[in-house]
Amino acid sequence: MTPASIVPDIPTSFADARGEKKFINYDQHYKGPVTIHHALANSLNVPAVRTLNAIGGLGLTLGSGEVTLMELTNAYASLARLGTYQPVTFFKTNDRLAVTPQSSFWMLAQTMSNNAARTAAFGPHSYLRLPFPCAAKTGTSTDFRDNWCLGFTAEFTVGVWAGNLDNTPMRGISGVTGAGPIFQATMLRLHKNHTPTWFKQPDDMLNCHIHNRTGKRLTQASVDSISLTLPINNTPLPSQPVDYSRDGKILLDARYSDWLASKGDQARFCLTDESNPPIYQNTPLRILSPSREAKYLLDPDLPGHGRQLPLKTDFPGEAIWSSPTLNITNANGKCTATLIPGLHRIDLTDSSGRQTSRSIDVEDL
């Protein structure tokens, strides 16, 4: 993936052992198809959740892994060294280079330092804007309990945490308005006597005009394009007429159907009639419900003893539910398994034959 890669910013739910959870953005709105460049610069939660789910790191996406401010700042310092990690110490030690190519870190720094890219969320004159190139990222916890701002130049990395020591909420103060002013003032002071520099562009990179909604390469700049510098061997495909409907709307696959039907921009987008376009071949086939390692209890006090279990997946294409031991019904596209006591396996199969399964234990209460 590169900054030009498209990620869906749409209503999203995932499940773990504790059940299903719905993810939303800070502003509680969804943007549809967005580039990673836009999603990262504007701190969109949902694209981050969907990306980390695709590579198996969902639990780390929105703060499930606890770290100290020092640990997090040192992680950002590794980004500022374009992937070179070294422990926090007052003495020089051997550096350790991450396996990721330096071009990836350079592209990350470019996006995080682009004030125009984050203007949609933060405005053009936020506390993240400095009179020299500076990568920056903010975060705000649930209920505005605390927030942080981290960033770097080629010379310095700064991490700021802001919050109440008694853990009470901060009355609507976000990372950009809480920790942001401290971050800005610190960076200005650090560079008062140190002229800031920026990172040398890696070799074999190409400046491209990228459509901000399709992620495809354009031949020239337009009102819908962004300028990105990408690896020559990993530039997006050129924009094609098949990306658009006859009336000029951008074609979206079935993943966007709920978003488009509710609050999506129907003047600009429409759905393709392909049920399983090629993009689904690389989309994980995952089961949301039933939950992994879940035990289900049939309760006589519930309607129908709680036997009806909704089956859910985040796979956007056509898929078939089945079970060797349970009856599964399909009503208007919503599948339900009728539970009986015992150990059971529920299978999900897509049109290409890929399959994933989930085992459940059902007992009478």
User: 29-73 pLDDT, tens per residue?
Assistant: 999 999 999 999 999 999 998 888 877 777 665 556 778 899 999
Q: Could you give the CA distance from residue 223 to residue 211 in angstroms, rounded to a whole number?
A: 9
Which pLDDT band holds residue 249 (cuts at 50, 70, 90)? Answer: very high
Question: What was the pLDDT predicted at 269?
Answer: 93
Distance CA 333, CA 329 (A): 10
Q: How would residue 144 be classed by pLDDT, with cut points 50, 70 and 90?
A: confident
- CA–CA gap between residue 191 and residue 132 (Å, rounded): 10
Q: Residue 282: which pLDDT band, with cuts at 50, 70 and 90?
A: low
Q: In what order do the strands lie in the sheet with 295-298?
A: 295-298, 355-364, 342-350, 319-322
In the structure encoding, which two tokens stand for residue 304, read together? 């129908």
Alpha helices of the chain — where are they, by DSSP H? 36-41, 45-54, 69-80, 102-112, 119-122, 179-190, 257-262
Q: Which residues contact 82 (CB under 8 A, 6 or more apart)?
A: 102, 105, 106, 109, 199
Domains of the chain with CATH codes: 287-364 (2.60.40.10)
Q: What is the pLDDT of residue 91?
A: 60
Mean pLDDT, the chain, whole residue set: 88
Task: Count Cα atoms within 13 angstroms, Cβ side, for 145.
Answer: 7
Sign of the four-CA dihedral 331, 334, 339, 344? positive
At 152, the pLDDT band (50, 70, 90 cuts) reads: very high
Which residues are registered as beta bridge partners of 271? 252
Share of the chain above pLDDT 70, in %: 91
Global pTM value: 0.78
Sequence length of the chain is: 365
pLDDT category at 274 given cuts 50, 70, 90 is low
CA within 13 Å, CB half, 120: 15
pLDDT of residue 12: 87
CB 37 within 8 A of CB 48: no
